[in-house]
Structure 1
């Protein structure tokens, strides 16, 4: 996920960290080398869908938010359940859960702006901040004819899901946040654990496209170092079909670069309008963030609960799909 506290301070530290990160990439590379309807994919995603064809019983489509085309996959019937993926993933992160969730929900799995088959935006100020991304979600939900929704988000999707619930308070009925500390809490986490969350410092190093150039040379080396062997090879190939495109890598990096302004903006809305009053579930992997997500949520929500996914690292939906499915079904059906 995201970054640290102040942009100048982070970039000064990143100047030193980027040399280490570049060395890691080089070393890894040696081993590795062994709201209106819009039809058709955006230009940046010409050809076959990067995330693969939709699941049986699902179909994909596009909605527009301020001229940006947002890709989604939907199926099922019943109340809307919005699923938001993390980085570096696509809507496909939810594919193991979607058929079961669609039995009594209209499932809407969205590719976040600039990722998967959604169109990138310019890199102008605010174009990848959480509240802007939440507006994309709102455009898709309204495009599909819903006025309220339940929402679940993992990693960056969790940050966007929280921003969506904060900005559109009357339109979100329940919220599940998976492996995503709320707003500025993650910025503090990165400051405390720079060696673990090294990619955030790497991305926020020199801004002349250095990070993009290093990654674009061999995307598999960089992204597989993030997955750390936790995902099946076929799933990694699906994600690399998206993140192997330079435009998608750049968009993903802009999420990190703009969060120092974006996350405090969500906190400001909470300070102005009060904590969320809807039920909020915080989920962490046992070998990753554990109970920390749920422990942080009372700062932003009045009614929160905590769940830990046993035996899971960060990629909880792919690592323990049956457990996460049961967890979400229980939470969203109560």
Structure 2
């Protein structure tokens, strides 16, 4: 069996593990999440948070490995995946969605694992309710340095396609990376589209960036002061988590571990190096991190 064949077999085994579907109302919106091993009440709780315009099913091939040692849930933030859309969005509001899902699962405290944009809600949840968060792991995220303040997220037009297959063919990663696993890419693309009366389109709300851009000058200050144990994972070839942003992680977190580099991957580590990411998370979570005393 070649390496590619072994990875394909591993992926098929991961996807074969069934997940349960759940939802909780948060400030007027139905927030959906998927769960693995949620009935194992003797195990600690872990919540997976996706990146911008992604959704819970980006974790379907990673979560089953983590469910050997944890109760695991994966959230779809509002305006993404199968969760409800809102008239306006805010990062702090998404942090409250994260805490609400953790509470609905009975994760008290919870370990948060967050990729890319999702790290902002994970960080804000950790700062807002440090007593409810055991640990935070951020994966290849664009922590806003002083030079990034005011950065605007592009607002795309709504795109319509005649069939699911046509839409899937147009699925693109931003940034594109270079070595996406084709099986993972196809799986995520399949679960990223929905059928409407007008045709097939993406599940995310195209207008979400508009209100998020309105707070772009202010939210950076809300990321400082993490007191829960924090770890960082990044791609060796990442276009996003630059050395400056890795350095910022140590500035915003009182107890930040040594960053873990995943070789041969860009920003979307779960798509380019899924096995390595699962192994890195397993290793990090198997190493206890206790909260340290912090000065007021």
State the TM-score, normalizing by the size of structure 2: 0.74
Of residues 116, 138, 145 in structure 1, which corresponds to 2:106?
A: 145
**Aligned match of 1:294:** 246
Structure 1 pair 97–236 and aligned structure 2 pair: CA distance change class (3 A): closer
Give how far 1:101 is off: 0.6
Question: Which TM-score applies when normalising by structure 1?
Answer: 0.67
- The CA deviation at 1:136 is 1.0
Aligned partners of 1:258, 1:109: CA distance in 2, in Å?
24
C-alpha contact 1:82 1:109 (8 A) present in aligned 2: yes
The whole-number CA distance in structure 1 between the counterparts of 2:276 and 2:182 is 22
How far, CA to CA, are the matches of 1:314 and 1:258 in structure 2?
24
Offset of residue 179 of structure 1: 1.2
For the pair 1:283 / 2:228, whether they are aligned, the reply is: no
> 1:277 is paired with a residue of what secondary structure?
coil
Q: In structure 1, what is the Cα distance between the partners aligned to 2:181 and 2:29?
A: 31
* Residue 90 (structure 1) shift: 2.1
**In the TM superposition, what is the alpha-carbon distance from 1:188 to its structure 2 partner?**
0.9
Q: 2: CA distance between counterparts of 1:186 and 1:107? A: 35
What residue is the counterpart of 1:185 in the other structure? 145
Matched, 1:231 2:180: yes
Q: What are the ranges of 5 or more consecutive residues in structure 1 without an aligned counterpart?
A: 1-53, 192-199, 205-210
Deviations 1:100-133 (A, max 9, x none): 21111110111121211111112xxxx3211111
Q: CA RMSD in A?
A: 3.1
Cα separation, 2, equivalents of 1:161 and 1:263: 17
* Structure 2: 5+ residue stretches without partners: 1-14, 289-296
- Closer, same or farther: CA 308–253 of 1 in aligned 2, 3 Å: farther
Matched, 1:313 2:274: no
Q: Indicate the structure whose relative CO is greater, using CA pairs within 8 Å and at least 6 residues apart.
A: 1
After superposition, what is the alpha-carbon deviation per residue over 1:127-168, rounded to whole angstroms, capped at 9, x for unaligned? 321111111111111112233100010011122211211222
**C-alpha contact 1:230 1:315 (8 A) present in aligned 2:** no
2:185 and 2:149 map into 1 onto residues whose CA distance is: 26
The structure that is helix-richer by fraction is: 1
Q: 1:189 to 1:324 in 2, by over 3 A?
A: farther
Secondary structure of the 2:99 match is helix
In the TM superposition, what whole-angstrom CA distance separates every residue of 1:46-79 from its partner, at most 9, and x where no partner exists? xxxxxxxx85242111111022111111112311
